[in-house]
């Protein structure tokens, strides 16, 4: 257990009496791709938002490399090495692709408080290296506001990698992308994760992506974990077939 990057125990959250997440526990190790799946409204996003500090759980423990991070704000969680991408892409649309990544690098280095330096002079090679990794270097000068959706997802990935994270949280990373792009993006992610020994937790609707890319899968239904294991195990699980795959396929 000590090699778990993220360890979640007994996570609870209710909204106005409605239980959204109940007694969820799981762990993820370095270099592992863990998929969190479940039907709409199963509590995936709520779960996700409790992991990086956007929501505070009602009960439960979230340990990052052994340290309890419940109650920390997202920016503090980020400082501990957690990168994040969003279901609906969140980038800085008035800035260029490179500036977006540089922003994350400046922030990581704590150099955003300067009033008189020119932004963009520093971290250029680092930004370009990250962009090259996600295949966006050729578009580095373009403003994010004009990018195609799939490209935005790549920019987000590059930004998430900028603080050399040990954990990546990716909420619906391929939503809104063409099927071919989806697999490509997740293959890219998986490659980077393994190369840099990053743990990746992602939610995903596309079962092809899930079953081809995840090392392990956990299944959430009505706020509770109902199954977990390798893709093959999950595929074979009767519960999952009943509540999820049955309706999805």
> What residue ranges bind another protein (CB under 8 A)?
52, 73-76, 78-79, 84, 86, 90-96, 99, 103-104, 106-108, 111-120, 143, 145, 159, 162-163
Q: Nearest approach, Cβ of 96 to another protein (angstroms)?
A: 7
Q: Nearest approach, Cβ of 248 to another protein (angstroms)?
A: 25
Cβ nearer to another protein, comparing 40 with 94 = 94
- For 10-45, b/e burial (b = at least 16 CB within 10 A) is ebbbeeeeeebbbebebbbbbbbbbbbbbbeebbbb
Q: Across the strands, what pairs with 27? A: 7
Cβ nearer to another protein, comparing 7 with 52 = 52
Closest Cα partner for 194 from 26, 46, 33, 74?
Answer: 33
Q: Nearest approach, Cβ of 13 to another protein (angstroms)?
A: 18
Q: Taking the CA atoms of 154, 159, 162 and 166 in sequence, report the sign of the dihedral they define.
A: negative
Q: Nearest approach, Cβ of 113 to another protein (angstroms)?
A: 6
Cβ nearer to another protein, comparing 59 with 70 = 70
Query: Taking a C-beta distance cutoff of 8 angstroms, is the pair 28, 167 a contact?
Result: yes
The span from the CA of 157 to the CA of 86, in Å, is: 10
Cβ nearer to another protein, comparing 146 with 195 = 146
Cβ nearer to another protein, comparing 113 with 180 = 113
Q: Nearest approach, Cβ of 49 to another protein (angstroms)?
A: 11
């Amino acid at each position: 257990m000590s090699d778990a990057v993220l360890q979640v125990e007994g996570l609870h959250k209710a909204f106005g009496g409605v239980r959204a997440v109940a007694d969820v526990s799981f762990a993820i190790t370095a270099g592992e791709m863990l998929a969190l799946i479940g039907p709409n409204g199963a509590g995936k996003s709520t779960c996700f938002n409790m992991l990086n500090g956007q929501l505070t759980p009602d009960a439960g423990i979230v340990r990052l490399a052994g340290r309890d991070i419940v109650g920390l704000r997202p920016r503090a969680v980020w400082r501990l090495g957690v990168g994040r991408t969003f279901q609906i892409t969140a980038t800085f649309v008035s800035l260029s692709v490179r500036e977006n990544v540089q922003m994350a690098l400046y922030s990581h280095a704590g150099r955003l408080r300067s009033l008189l330096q020119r932004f963009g002079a520093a971290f250029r090679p680092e930004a370009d290296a990250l962009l090259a990794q996600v295949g966006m270097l050729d578009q580095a000068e373009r403003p994010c506001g004009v990018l195609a959706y799939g490209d935005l997802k790549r920019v987000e990935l590059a930004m998430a990698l900028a603080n050399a994270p040990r954990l990546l949280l990716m909420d619906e990373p391929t939503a809104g992308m063409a099927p071919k792009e989806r697999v490509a993006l997740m293959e890219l992610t998986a490659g980077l994760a393994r190369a840099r020994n990053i743990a990746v937790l992602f939610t995903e609707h596309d079962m092809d992506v899930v079953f081809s890319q995840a090392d392990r899968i956990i299944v959430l239904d009505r706020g509770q974990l109902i199954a977990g294991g390798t893709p093959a195990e999950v595929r074979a699980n009767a519960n999952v077939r009943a509540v999820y795959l049955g309706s999805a396929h």
